[in-house]
Chain A
Amino acid sequence: GAVVSQHPSRVICKSGTSVKIECRSLDFQATTMFWYRQFPKQSLMLMATSNEGSKATYEQGVEKDKFLINHASLTLSTLTVTSAHPEDSSFYICSASRLRSNQPQHFGDGTRLSIL
């Protein structure tokens, strides 16, 4: 079946560092990728929708200058958390879907980001 790979799985870094998270669709072309964030014991909250070759669409309350999203190819989207601070510590998960498919979104395994 479809596989989505997310890297790295865990990041621990100092406050002020920028962190890049990659999301790859391994066996299909993902015209749309989604980035979610999950706080402990809470739901997955959509941050942004990323369409290949165009600017990402951010959800209300998500700072686009803070969370930079690039979807340069049909198999890769990246999320960069710029100048990360402790409040950015969270579990970030990407998902991918194939255009006009009847397949559900497939999720990566997530990235645990810890800012010291």
Chain B
Amino acid sequence: DQQVKQNSPSLSVQEGRISILNCDYTNSMFDYFLWYKKYPAEGPTFLISISSIKDKNEDGRFTVFLNKSAKHLSLHIVPSQPGDSAVYFCAATGDFGNEKLTFGTGTRLTIIP
């Protein structure tokens, strides 16, 4: 039972353009949603998060949008840079920092120079 889904296994975007990564979830008990970036043979690195009481959170080039009614969130990266090429995981939890994370299957983002 995949409670967090990332339906696009890969995405290619031209450098300088906007990258949009999508994530859907089924469990309405999730209170926090996080995006992690992962390079091969390394652990995930935290990027940005959003609480379920918000619909948008922005940090520099990264913005996360949450649509609770649709159980959908997205990560926007603008402008996209070559260093953004990595696998991006969305994750959900009921307690920020202290409870287990339920991860999506990841989206491999490739930024084309």
Question: Which residues of A are at the interface with B, using a C-beta cutoff of 8 A?
Answer: 4, 6, 9, 32, 34, 36, 41-46, 49, 93, 95, 97-110, 112
If A43-B89, A110-B43 touch, does A101 touch B105 (CB 8 Å cutoff)? no
Which of B36, B97, B105 has the most A CB atoms < 10 Å from its CB?
B97
B residues contacting A by CB (< 8 A) are 2, 4, 9, 34, 36, 41-46, 49, 89, 96-98, 100-106
Find out whether the CB atom of B97 lies under 8 angstroms from the CB atom of A42: no
Bound CA span A109–B41, Å:
7
Closest Cβ–Cβ distance, residue A62 to chain B (whole Å): 12
| B42 and A110 contacting across the interface, CB-CB below 8 Å | yes
Q: Knowing A99-B98, A103-B97, A104-B34 touch, does A43 contact B106 (C-beta < 8 A)?
A: yes
Which residue of chain B lies nearest to A112 when distances are taken between CB atoms in the complex? B41
Given contacts A43-B104, A107-B44, contact A101 B89 (CB under 8 A): no
A45 to B100, CA, bound (A): 10
A103 and B104 CA atoms in complex are apart in Å by 20
CA distance A110 to B38 in the complex (A): 11
Decide yes or no: A109 and B42 within 8 Å by CB, A43-B105, A43-B106, A44-B89 being known contacts. yes
Query: In the bound complex, how far is the Cα of B4 from the Cα of A42, in angstroms?
Result: 12
Q: Are A104 and B43 in contact (CB under 8 A)?
A: no
B45 with A107: CB separation less than 8 A: yes
**Contact between B98 and A97 (Cβ–Cβ < 8 Å)?**
yes
Interface contacts beyond A43-B2, A44-B89: sample of 5 additional A-B pairs, CB < 8 Å, sorted by A: A9-B41, A36-B103, A43-B106, A101-B98, A109-B43
In the bound complex, what is the Cα–Cα distance between A93 and B100 (angstroms)?
Answer: 13
